[in-house]
Amino acid sequence: MAQIGTNIQAAAKILRNCGLVGIPTETVYGLAANALDTEAVLKIFKAKNRPSFDPLIVHISSLDRLGDFARDVPEQAIRLAEEFWPGPLTLLLPKKDIVPDLVTSGLDTVAVRMPAHPLTLELLQLLGFPLAAPSANPFGYISPTTANHVNDQLGDAVDYILDGGECGIGLESTIIGFPDGEPTVFRLGGLAIEAIETIVGAVKLMPHSSSNPQAPGMLKSHYAPSRPVTLFSDDGLDKLADSAAFLMFSKLYPGIAPERQRVLSVDGSLNEAAKNLFGFLRELDQMPVARIFAELVPEEGLGRAINDRLRRAAAL
Ligand code: TXA
Ligand code: MG
């Protein structure tokens, strides 16, 4: 098990010495290493059991640092970063040579974001180098939204977990790139499309390519608990309900013991639902049930990213 605490100096020391640290962000917890040190980055792939073809996001401490790692940054990318950084937005841009190929899986683009968590921003400022950090979960499983989630699954692989409390947003960042100058969303996430469109106008959505994904986070089956997940509207629910747990949007499912259910937001708030999503899925996954039924939420705001995760969790 890892040590959990709020000692930024201790975390910095480990990272300077090629170690791994669990870091809080506003989206989900990350598994961080020095992004410019190939040996350190290799440890991330090992700890997560992550295939080397799945590139990592580079976390920076300010917009001023973007040009150190990315080139040919389009005007629209800068406008988005000015508006939404620090925050749940990752920019996919042509990479500079300083970024190791291991970080980008050999692609000529790099994913960069400035996270909105005070502990992690302070850590990044102290370090002076950027942090490569995927979500701190074994490859394919649900992302962690508390320090304990990280400890439960990767506690033996990390040297320290910086405890920044529960993640405020609860969904991974929205990833946007600009192929041929056209703003294109590659992963739905914690920043709503509607918000992005107020800055750059209509965006193209490409989050569902599953056979030859540009981003393996777009793999059809991902973000999945170990119990099979079935979307709520599917047939046969009544027959299976006795051996199932239920993830509901705003109301309990009638006739099923409340202990076997989680309601994402009794107020019907999509932001609250997003924040609760992964933690509740973990709780249901630990129950002695054969499967999880999950109800889709309204397809707007963060609801789109929630439904994206539920569909991928169900795609086994
Ligand atoms: O909110 C987040 O983005 C969290 C926190 C820790 O920052 N990180 C996160 O990382 O979700 P990860 O590794 O779980 O997901 C990153 C996604 C992957 O699907 C990866 O394939 C994609 O970003 N990605 C990274 N670099 C890329 C690149 N150069 N081209 C295409 N996709 C890329
Ligand atoms: Mg991930």
Whole-number pLDDT of residue 223: 76
Handedness of CA 188, 192, 197, 202 (dihedral sign): positive
Whether 208 shows a pLDDT value over 80: the answer reads no
Whole-number pLDDT of residue 302: 98
- Could you tell which of 112, 114, 175 is best to mutate to test the pocket of ligand 1, judged by most ligand atoms within 8 Å of the CB? 175
Q: Which residue puts its alpha carbon closest to atom 31 of ligand 1?
A: 215
Q: How far is the CA of 115 from the centre of ligand 1 (A)?
A: 13
Q: What is the mean pLDDT of residues 105-124?
A: 98
Q: How far is the CA of 97 from the centre of ligand 2 (A)?
A: 25
Whole-number pLDDT of residue 207: 76
Does 281 contact ligand 1 (Cβ within 6 A)?
no
| CB within 8 Å of 39: residues ≥ 6 apart | 18
Q: Looking at this protein, which amino acid is placed at residue 167?
A: C
Q: What is the mean pLDDT of residues 168-196?
A: 97
Do 297 and 303 contact (CB within 8 A), yes or no?
A: yes
Other beta carbons less than 10 A from residue 267's beta carbon:
8
Whether 211 shows a pLDDT value over 60: the answer reads no
Helix (H, G, I), strand (E, B) or coil at 288: coil
Q: Ligand 1 atom closest to Cα of 50? A: 13
- What is the tens place of the pLDDT at every residue in 59-111? 999 999 999 999 999 999 999 999 999 999 999 999 999 999 999 999 999 99
Whole-number pLDDT of residue 218: 58
Whole-number pLDDT of residue 242: 79
In eight-state DSSP terms, residue 95 is B
Supply the mean pLDDT for the chain: 94
Nearest bound ligand to the CA of residue 93:
1
Q: What is the mean pLDDT of residues 31-39?
A: 98
Name the β-bridge partners of 311. none
Q: How far is the CA of 238 from the centre of ligand 1 (A)?
A: 38
- What is the tens place of the pLDDT at every residue in 230-283? 898 756 677 677 789 999 999 999 889 999 999 999 999 999 999 999 999 999
| pTM score, whole prediction | 0.95
Whole-number pLDDT of residue 217: 54
Whole-number pLDDT of residue 234: 58
Residue 268 CA to residue 254 CA, distance in Å, equals 17
Q: How far is the CA of 109 from the centre of ligand 1 (A)?
A: 12
Helix (H, G, I), strand (E, B) or coil at 235: coil
Query: pLDDT higher for 219 or 23?
Result: 23
